Amino acid sequence: MLAFAPLHDAVGAAGSALSWLTTLLEPLAGGAATAAAIVVLTVAVRLLISPLTLAQVRGERRRAALAPEVRDLQRRYAHDPARLQGELFALYRANGASPVSGCLPMLLQAPVLLVMYRLFTTADGGAGLLAERLAGVSLGHHLGDGLGGAVLPLFGVLLAALLALAWWTSRRMWRATAATGTVAGTPAEGPGAAVLGRLLPLLPYATVLVALVLPLAAVIYLVTTTAWSALEQAVLRRPQATPADIDRH
């Protein structure tokens, strides 16, 4: 268990922050203070890791700008894989890009997201988080525990929000695929690229399925972080004006 001590400590620290936020918000939110604290803490964490997201988007744009040259090299050295790899490496290095630069920010975010997940699905965070209530429903309540009282309308609203966010995100992915032939953050060329382009736009709907088995606290977290991701998509990955577009105006 020693190997998991840092994770346990991080979850405990996040739980303490959540307790502090709950106390701070109680005069304003009353009985919904813990749920409100979950939203505020989730937004705060996403803000802290936003530089990683920015780095990921910049890497994607650099690779996208180099895509025509990459395709040209692939055609020229299709029968010489070793030469192709060397030319691609030189191209990326000369332009300050990397074919794997988009993966590093996601890997660095993973421990943070794991801490948040454990905080909202286990008792590791302490402070009786899952025993608190929202509209009379325990934050530790699962749909499988029963649908009485406010459970069905409360979960219904949250699941409907997740479904709407999934549809919006998936729609943007399909449009990006139709316009560029690839989805942001995925390779434009290579084995499996076409399959990824078809499957990834369906991935946002997985959040709805996951929410069906999570406690209420985790569903609130999932809705908040998914909404934040959708906002990042709209702001950071909005279409960029090209010189041709500028000339037309």
Digit-coded pLDDT (tens) for 157-173: 999 999 999 999 888 87
Q: Cα–Cα distance between 138 and 24 in angstroms, integer? A: 20
* Any domain includes 188: yes
* Any domain includes 228: yes
Q: What angle is formed at CA 180 by the lines to CA 179 and CA 181, rounded to 5 degrees?
A: 105
Distances (CA, A) of 46 to 50, 64, 155: 6, 25, 23
Segment 213-240 mean pLDDT = 86
The pLDDT score that the predictor gives to residue 2 is 42
Give me the residues paired with residue 133 across strands.
138
* Any domain includes 243: no
* Any domain includes 72: yes
* Any domain includes 181: yes
Is residue 224 within 8 A of residue 42, CB to CB? The reply is yes
* Any domain includes 151: yes
* Any domain includes 69: yes
**How many domains does the chain divide into?**
1
* Any domain includes 2: no
What domain range includes position 50?
7-238
Query: For residue 133, which phi and psi values (nearest 5 degrees)?
Result: -125, 155
Digit-coded pLDDT (tens) for 85-132: 888 888 878 877 766 655 655 676 778 878 888 888 876 555 478 888
CA 243 to chain centre: 31
Q: What is the mean pLDDT of the chain?
A: 79
pLDDT band at 39 (very low <50, low <70, confident <90, very high): very high
- Percent of the residues in the chain that have a pLDDT greater than 90, as a whole number: 31
